[in-house]
Amino acid sequence: MHAASSSCRLDVAGESLDLLPERALWWPAAETLFVADLHLGKAASFRALGQPVPHGTTGQNLARLDRLIEQHHPRELVVLGDFLHDAQARTPQLLASLQAWREVHADLGCTLVRGNHDSHAGDPPATLRFESVDEPYLSGPFAACHHPRPHPTHFVLGGHLHPVCKLQGSARDSLRMPCFVREEGRLILPAFGEFTGGWLMEPVPGRRFYGIGGDAVWPLPI
């Protein structure tokens, strides 16, 4: 059993979107789940270079996806780029794990919006039945992208930046946390992957942060 989580609902471009503490975005009206920057196989790539990084991150990522699919029953999963980390990530073990995961979710439509790491890693194997497309991938009022650049006609849902924000305490202490970032014309998703790192985005006028802590997402004070 998993404790109930608390999402944060936004009204964007005439649609309601749920910011999920699992670092994913849910569009209820279209039954579509968005995630960004899985970087599957990144830990294995670092271990191949002799770096002592943890095992099991791919299994953790796929288990979190399993829970999201079980909870929301999406019609489509859209990955906003950087599905695999690089060509060295395509190990037999990782591909077998992905194939087993895909067979469990055989009826789920899966789309990959190619990111910069996908250009090195290559598209997912055909047996995974992902539709791989270049950005922008237009769906309703949204432009699903990897790089969160402005779009002339659609509201952008993007990744790439792995955003984190900083909370400042009263005793000169601070806390960094992953976050969603909303700006004029775009919403930036946090990295979904367990082993991805983050980029600290500073507060500027017009930028709103939605912090992720534990099992909740909440808007941070401006």
What pLDDT sits at residue 175? 82
Nearest to 114 by CA among 151, 152, 89, 145: 145
What domains are defined for the chain?
8-160 (3.60.21)
Give the pLDDT score at 49: 46
Peptide bond just before 136 cis, omega within 30 deg: yes
Is the pLDDT at 179 greater than 60? The verdict is: yes
Q: In this predicted structure, which of 66-75, 97-106, 135-144, 192-201 has the lowest mean pLDDT?
A: 192-201
Average model confidence (pLDDT) for the chain? 89
pLDDT at 80 over 80: yes
What is residue 221's predicted lDDT score, i.e. its pLDDT? 85
Exposure string over 20-56, b if 16+ CB within 10 A, otherwise e: bbbbbbbbeeeebbbbbbbbbbbbbbbeeeeeeeeee
pLDDT band at 90 (very low <50, low <70, confident <90, very high): confident
Number of helices and strands in the chain (H, E): 4, 16
pLDDT band at 46 (very low <50, low <70, confident <90, very high): very low
Q: Is the pLDDT of residue 52 over 60?
A: no
Give the chain's radius of gyration (CA, Å). Answer: 17
Does residue 218 carry a pLDDT above 90? yes
Q: What is the pTM of this model?
A: 0.90
pLDDT of amino acid 67: 96
pLDDT band at 152 (very low <50, low <70, confident <90, very high): very high
For residues 79-93, give the mean pLDDT. Answer: 83
Cα separation, 157 vs 74, whole angstroms: 17
Q: What is the mean pLDDT of residues 105-128?
A: 93
Least confident segment among 4-8, 129-133, 182-186:
4-8
Q: Residue 91: enclosing H or E segment and its boundaries?
A: none
Confidence of residue 1 (pLDDT cuts 50, 70, 90): very low
**Average pLDDT over every residue of 15-42:** 95
The pLDDT, as a whole number, for residue 120 is 85
How sure is the predictor about 56, in pLDDT bands with cuts at 50, 70 and 90?
Answer: low
